[in-house]
Amino acid sequence: MIKPEKLSPETIFNTLIPCLPMDSLYGQFESFISEIINQIYSKGYSTETSILASIVEKYNIPYEAGELPILEQYFIRQSSDSDAKSRNPRIDLILPSKSNPKILIESTYQLTTASGQTKKIDANDSLFRAIKEYSMDSGQEVIFINFIDGAGWKSRGFADVSRLVSSCDYAINFNNLGHFEEIIKFYFNK
């Protein structure tokens, strides 16, 4: 099996959902999402994380969510008093488990622009560095996938989306979920 290529920042930016028009397309999208969410949403995930989880479940791959203790020593942030402090970030999906992570998935769907988007970009940069440092130290490859979509990211522009794409091994969105399946199948030999 051939390793899936990383999609370019241009591909991700150009395939972001700019908005959901209030017409039949919205109704079709809402119907599609509702069907998937009814099956998974009770687990407390966001819409986009629920969709990704449904794809993972299709291949019988276990997953968890939450803090990943093995990353704590690698994930450093600056506090307001300029002291470096360790922090344990919450991961949206951890495949297959916290004790044996192979793929970490973070999702960010922004319907509108918000000041928190810059913080999200900075946090993703730090998280990606932490994952790579852990991988080097442990000798265990851990892949980081960023799910990026929504009019908020489209409005922020190419530079911000490009930063998100560069701070992960793979970037995906609603328009290339097939690529997500290829990644899952490759790393789990499915």
Secondary structure string (H, E, C) spanning 9-50: HHHHHHCCCCCCCCCHHHHHHHHHHHHHHHHHHHHCCCHHHH
pLDDT of 19: 53
Quick check: helix, strand or coil at residue 118? helix
pLDDT of 143: 97
pLDDT of 184: 95
Quick check: helix, strand or coil at residue 176? helix
pLDDT of 3: 87
Is 144 contained in some domain? yes
CA distance 117 to 50: 21
Is 2 contained in some domain? no
CA distance 176 to 190: 19
Is 56 contained in some domain? yes
The single-letter code of the amino acid at 140 is Q
Domain total of the chain: 1
pLDDT of 142: 97
Tell me the sheet residues that pair with 109. Answer: 149
pLDDT of 157: 78
pLDDT of 113: 66
pLDDT of 53: 86
State the 10-residue block means of pLDDT for the chain, 190 residues long.
85 70 46 46 58 88 90 69 59 93 86 72 88 95 90 77 91 89 93
Is 1 contained in some domain? no
Is 134 contained in some domain? yes
Give me the domain span that covers residue 82.
Answer: 9-187
User: What one-character DSSP code corresponds to residue 70?
Assistant: G
Residue-wise pLDDT for 46-58, tens only, equals: 566 778 888 898 9
